[in-house]
Structure 1
Amino acid sequence: MTDTPRKITDDPYGAAQLVRRLVMEQASVYWRRYLLAFGLMAIAAAATALSAYLLGQVINQAYVDRNLQGIMILSVVSLAIFTVKGVATYGQSVILTQIKNAILANNQRRLFDKLMRENLAFYSQRHSSEFLARLTAGANSVTEVLNLLINAVGRDLLSLIALVIVMVSQDPFMALFGLLIAPPAVFVLRKLVRRVKGLAYTQFAGNAEILETMQESLQGIRTVKAFSLEQTMRDRINASIEAVRKNADKMARVSNRSSPLMETLGGFAVAASLMYGGYRVVATGATPGQFFSFLTAFLLAYEPAKRLARLNIELNSGLVGARMLLEIVDSPQSEPDDGDKPALALTEARVEFDHVGFAYRPDEPVLNAMSFTAEPGKMTALVGPSGGGKSTVLALLLRLYEPGSGDIRIDGQSIAGVSRRSLRQQTAYVGQDVYLFRDTVRANIAFGKIGASEDEIVAAAKAAYAHDFIMGFPLGYDTPVGEHGAQLSGGQRQRIAVARALLRNAPIVLLDEATAALDSESEKLVQEAIERLCLNRTTIVIAHRLHTIMHADAILVVEGGTIVEQGRHDDLLRRSGRYASFFRLQQRHAAPLAPVDAAI
């Protein structure tokens, strides 16, 4: 059985397919504006060729006919031609730049929109700096490729055709001779394309590594300073920068390797033109105007011809970035749009896990047929050792991941059958690692309810015991919180997060170690704010500090992805099981544990 020969269209990200796709999907939207730009390019090309032709006429009028009036007329015509060329060049440049900006903005929006439609599993396999690189380099590469194509066809090809017409009209034999430099140039350039493509991929990966090191160093600057890692991070980024520099130098050598050949071939052609043209003027009586007109047209045609010869190299280099963008845009959505599904309709907000199984990686289960019910209006606490699957429960409930087996229901409705947006609008989440956006205090609270009034924001802050410290800032609610809320203390960030959740006024509250990283005084204030947040709401809370959930209506001890114990605090202590062991371990260095009344 013989293998079927591969076609250039077999690879969806091959050069031919990518070019076709960019033209059909993105450039075709602006075809009217491109058509106008082409018209202006044609005018500029015609003006360039006409100026070369007129130069010969001026030479003849000056040195052959001695016609001063003719020279004056041709001078005025030349002025008009260059003015028209300038206006046409300006117009097509502005139009192409506007199209480029529109396509760039559209691709940035497309990529960001796609990223917002992915679940957490998608991000866990990649570094965020990769997306920054794809957003910047990829989106820019698309516009660069389209501009290369448009300029190659509209500016360079049209100019070359117009100038070749002038060359042929002046001397057909020399025009044919001048075109003989193209075949050897094309042969050499074809060999460079594959090498340039490989170097472009390496360059993209190297730039992504630089962004990664930079981002991690700045976001983890406290750890860097605390562990004196400054030189380590310098060494890491210097290694990446040096690798990118060497690769860029190599790309410069490879991509410009054609220049000596092109210049040498061009030199041969110019030298031959000078000798032959001079011979014709001296020996055969040809007019000097013809010679100068041909030579001018030839020299003007050299640059667009050289750009067209290098087009394949530059095109393949730009297509690497375009592929980086389109690979993400084209990938199947891990969190597809489900707006057509019915909205979650709550009556009591009862949450049920029915034999739910889940694994982040194959053959490494995190939840094993877990079943429990969080009763409406009550607090259900999940406790147990790290890695038992507690945080995964909240992630599955928010549909940040999808369960591998079993079902999760709220008021009898499978959350897989309702829209994610309606599900998440009915929940308020507060985690241990509070994320605040680089904005004001007011804006970060208002994210809990888009369009909230000032009175609602202030009321939420007061309920979260945050209003007093906010008003202690010189700018009050207009105080910037810094990146990740770096200008606030841990307790302040947590109370802002609680205020945001209170403003949401959702019937289901999810708390993931919301006080674990706080000192005792901050913990007390945050705990009081949380109590207000949880009042009469279905609450699922994860806690390592067991004294914070002693009042919970139900405590579930989670180990190895299953519930090994459940009950109220006092009941679990009487059983002297895993919960009692955890609790007494935490209390060992605190006040003595009061005996449990057996009659309770």
Structure 2
Amino acid sequence: MSTTTQARPRPPVGGRGMPGMGMPVEKPKNFGPSAKRLAARLHPERVALAVVVLLCVASVAFAVAGPKVLGHATDIIFGGVLARMRDVPGAGIDFSALAGVLTWVLGLYLASSLFGWVQGRLLNDVVQRVVYRLREDVEAKLHRLPLRYFDRQPRGELLSRVTNDIDNISTTLQQTLSQLLTSLLTVVGVVVMMLTISPLLALIALAVIPLSVVVTGVIGKRAQKKFVAQWRQTGALNAHIEEAFTGHQLVTVFGRQRESEAEFRRRNDELFESAHGAQFISGLIMPAMMFLSNLSYVVVAVVGGLRITSGTMTLGEVQAFIQYSRQFTQPLTQVASMANLMQSGVASAERVFELLDAEEQEPDPREAAVAAQRRGRVEFEHVSFSYREDQPLIEDLSLVAEPGQTVAIVGPTGAGKTTLVNLILRFYELDGGRITLDGVDVRSMRREDLRSQVGMVLQDTWLFGGTIRDNIAYGRPEATEEEILAAARATFVDPFVRSLPDGYDTVIDEEGTNVSAGQKQLLTIARAFLASPSLLILDEATSSVDTRTESLVQHAMAALRSSRTSFVIAHRLSTIRDADLILVMEEGRIVEQGTHDQLLEREGAYRRLYNAQFAAATS
């Protein structure tokens, strides 16, 4: 075995706490490209959207026709009143004609409402399916991302993108698509009706459009930057909160509550400023549009009155036109008022698209290799690896773990012990050399096939919300009750579980607060036992177990390791005395290897570790 390694740098982030808090944020995409990409996700729903458009056209058409028909009713009333004032014989209001017109108006508005309701219901289904697929894409993407990506992303920030930002996209699509479609069609319909009544008044009303576009564009451009900052700072605040809550005990023990509160206030203030600025700036659109709308309304009313007195228009036509002018400016105002929501939704879409565009891990080979027989032989052949290109960690490392052999890896914290087993599992890709499992290069295997042969027990225990039975069977859901009980007995889980009121049906919360740290560790060991892998990786697996239980678990592990290759990472040297091979690592290098007795006789690094540990234990 040849080993030439250099000092191990720390990975980009630590295993605990919140990594990457100070990392630079990439410049977000422009509004246009992101909005187009978000709209492209509606393409699978094009048939349903076509039906939505047709229903919306029908609804708007009936609604737009209403004022003109209602204008005839006004003319009937005005004509009848005017004829009576002139004492025309038999003159008066034609109530029969008036009733017919009003019936038509009622029917038009009822039909418009019905089509609008159906269109809204169908569009809601479309939006929910689009967001459903987006969540699926994000979930699938997370499984294709390399571990390096998660090393560089604060958990709170990542969770904010997966939850808050997607929810914001859903809200934006739900509230804007229907209103935007209805508003645009209403504008088109109203313009057509206004032109048929009076081209002159139509030109006066249309003059507000370029002014509206300019106002919306200027204000919206300023608001977009604020919304991007708002959602970025929302993610940063969530990251800090997640970190503070996860490490609440440490924050309290070390008296860092004031510093944590100060950091929270700083990030909360930043979020307040960006959110306040975004809402304030975008909120200017609505008053500006209302001012332009009212200005247009006054001009139309004055000119319309003059045309009535000149006899070129009837009162009903002017009334209908005024209604249309209000209907014309109202959808423009609604579109403008939706600008802040659209800006916010696109800002969230940018953040989600950044996640979807992140570089993925190397894909599994199409024709995956499979070992002829699962024996658990692991070989490192001239392996090189580094977390950073400019800081090599492992160079030209070679070693062999024979089937059934127990290989213990010891050394001070940061020596690179966990890195070796992470490379076996392909959590990180090699820079050079190769690792084989039963003669097959792990890079030529599917990750699922590779990891299905490995059972892993970590120092950091992790239990899932569910029963104790579910947690033991997590790695092998098809296991029978007898197999679960056998694994529990082998790992000494059975005695303490039977002392619980609900036994194996005891529900464990996600944090595992209703069982002790040692009991959680035993449950994770039982989980690995039940999976029955050909290769075991035990990373400080007994660190949270008391001395008496540790002795029992060591006997169980010895029986389990008899037919399996095992890599044991340990700080407590008493747990690896019986290992077939002990590797001693310092600063990323394997400085010694041999059995426990051989290494003690050499009086080298292992002997120093051993003496330091047991001298500390007896002092």
TM-score (norm 1): 0.91
Residue 447 of structure 1: CA displacement?
1.2
Residue 23 of structure 1: CA displacement?
3.2
Does structure 1 residue 511 correspond to structure 2 residue 538? yes
Look up the equivalent residue of 2:53 and give its one-letter code: F
The one of 66, 70, 74 aligned to 2:97:
70
CA gap 1:58/1:528 in 2 versus in 1, 3 angstroms = farther
Name the structure 1 match of 2:14: none
The one of 302, 310, 322 aligned to 1:275:
302
The one of 55, 61, 65 aligned to 1:50:
65
Q: Is the 8 A contact 1:395 1:401 kept in 2?
A: yes
Name the structure 1 match of 2:465: 438
CA gap 1:399/1:578 in 2 versus in 1, 3 angstroms = same
CA gap 1:590/1:34 in 2 versus in 1, 3 angstroms = closer
Residue 561 of structure 1: CA displacement?
2.1
Does structure 1 residue 19 correspond to structure 2 residue 46? no
Q: Is the 8 A contact 2:468 2:508 kept in 1?
A: yes
The one of 284, 289, 292 aligned to 1:265:
292
Does structure 1 residue 241 correspond to structure 2 residue 274? no
The one of 519, 523, 535 aligned to 1:492:
519
Name the structure 2 match of 1:407: 434
Q: Give me the whole-angstrom Cα distance separating, in 2, the residues matched to 1:153 and 1:587.
A: 74
Name the structure 2 match of 1:300: 327
Residue 283 of structure 1: CA displacement?
4.2
Residue 189 of structure 1: CA displacement?
2.3
Residue 313 of structure 1: CA displacement?
6.0
CA gap 1:462/1:517 in 2 versus in 1, 3 angstroms = closer
Look up the equivalent residue of 1:44 and give its one-letter code: S
Residue 547 of structure 1: CA displacement?
0.8
Does structure 1 residue 35 correspond to structure 2 residue 50? yes
Look up the equivalent residue of 1:15 and give its one-letter code: F
Name the structure 1 match of 2:508: 481
Q: Give me the whole-angstrom Cα distance separating, in 2, the residues matched to 1:337 and 1:45.
A: 53
Name the structure 1 match of 2:200: 173
SS at match of 1:368: strand
Does structure 1 residue 288 correspond to structure 2 residue 303? no
Q: Give me the whole-angstrom Cα distance separating, in 1, the residues matched to 2:612 and 2:546.
A: 19
Residue 203 of structure 1: CA displacement?
0.4
Does structure 1 residue 101 correspond to structure 2 residue 101? no
Q: Is the 8 A contact 1:346 1:410 kept in 2?
A: no
Q: Give me the whole-angstrom Cα distance separating, in 1, the residues matched to 2:463 and 2:396.
A: 35
CA gap 1:372/1:492 in 2 versus in 1, 3 angstroms = same
Residue 496 of structure 1: CA displacement?
0.5
SS at match of 2:590: strand
Give deviations 1:330-358, integer Å, cap 9, x for gaps: 22312434464223443432111122121
Look up the equivalent residue of 2:202 and give its one-letter code: A
Give deviations 1:383-426, integer Å, cap 9, x for gaps: 11221111100100111011212211122221111111111111
Look up the equivalent residue of 1:174 and give its one-letter code: L
Name the structure 1 match of 2:391: 364
Residue 443 of structure 1: CA displacement?
1.6
Q: Give me the whole-angstrom Cα distance separating, in 1, the residues matched to 2:523 and 2:338.
A: 55
Name the structure 2 match of 1:60: 75
Q: Is the 8 A contact 1:52 1:297 kept in 2?
A: yes
Give deviations 1:30-74, integer Å, cap 9, x for gaps: 111111111111111112111111221111122214111122122
Residue 21 of structure 1: CA displacement?
3.0
Look up the equivalent residue of 1:17 and give its one-letter code: P
Q: Is the 8 A contact 2:279 2:340 kept in 1?
A: no
CA gap 1:166/1:590 in 2 versus in 1, 3 angstroms = closer
SS at match of 1:544: coil
Q: After alignment, is 49-58 or 337-346 more displaced? A: 337-346
Q: Determine which structure has greater relative contact order: mean sequence separation of CA pairs < 8 Å that are 6+ residues apart, divided by chain length.
A: 2
SS at match of 1:515: coil
Q: Give me the whole-angstrom Cα distance separating, in 2, the residues matched to 1:395 and 1:251.
A: 45
SS at match of 1:361: coil
Q: How does 1:142-221 map to 2 (within 5 A)?
A: 142-143=169-170, 146=173, 150-151=177-178, 154-221=181-248
Gaps of 5+ in 1: 1-10, 593-600
Q: Give me the whole-angstrom Cα distance separating, in 1, the residues matched to 2:36 and 2:237.
A: 32
Q: Is the 8 A contact 1:344 1:422 kept in 2?
A: no
Q: After alignment, is 453-462 or 146-155 more displaced? A: 146-155
Name the structure 2 match of 1:447: 474
CA gap 1:75/1:529 in 2 versus in 1, 3 angstroms = farther
Look up the equivalent residue of 2:467 and give its one-letter code: T
Q: Give me the whole-angstrom Cα distance separating, in 1, the residues matched to 2:39 and 2:316.
A: 43
Q: Is the 8 A contact 1:438 1:482 kept in 2?
A: yes
Q: Give me the whole-angstrom Cα distance separating, in 1, the residues matched to 2:446 and 2:468.
A: 30
CA gap 1:249/1:153 in 2 versus in 1, 3 angstroms = closer
The one of 122, 128, 137 aligned to 1:110:
137
Q: Give me the whole-angstrom Cα distance separating, in 1, the residues matched to 2:357 and 2:390.
A: 29
Gaps of 5+ in 2: 1-26, 81-92
Residue 212 of structure 1: CA displacement?
0.9
Superposition CA RMSD, Å = 2.3
Does structure 1 residue 539 correspond to structure 2 residue 539? no
SS at match of 2:434: strand
Does structure 1 residue 225 correspond to structure 2 residue 252? yes
Q: Is the 8 A contact 1:120 1:401 kept in 2?
A: yes
CA gap 1:157/1:174 in 2 versus in 1, 3 angstroms = same
SS at match of 1:241: helix
Q: Is the 8 A contact 1:138 1:323 kept in 2?
A: no
SS at match of 2:69: helix
How many pairs does the alignment contain? Answer: 581
Residue 511 of structure 1: CA displacement?
0.6
Q: Give me the whole-angstrom Cα distance separating, in 2, the residues matched to 1:218 and 1:529.
A: 36
Q: Give me the whole-angstrom Cα distance separating, in 1, the residues matched to 2:418 and 2:224.
A: 44
Q: Is the 8 A contact 1:129 1:215 kept in 2?
A: yes
Q: Give me the whole-angstrom Cα distance separating, in 1, the residues matched to 2:329 and 2:364.
A: 53
Q: Is the 8 A contact 1:51 1:78 kept in 2?
A: yes
CA gap 1:298/1:75 in 2 versus in 1, 3 angstroms = same
Residue 380 of structure 1: CA displacement?
1.0
Q: Give me the whole-angstrom Cα distance separating, in 2, the residues matched to 1:34 and 1:285.
A: 43
Residue 171 of structure 1: CA displacement?
1.9
Q: Give me the whole-angstrom Cα distance separating, in 1, the residues matched to 2:587 and 2:273.
A: 49
Does structure 1 residue 561 correspond to structure 2 residue 588? yes
SS at match of 1:192: helix
TM-score (norm 2): 0.89
Q: Give me the whole-angstrom Cα distance separating, in 2, the residues matched to 1:589 and 1:35.
A: 77
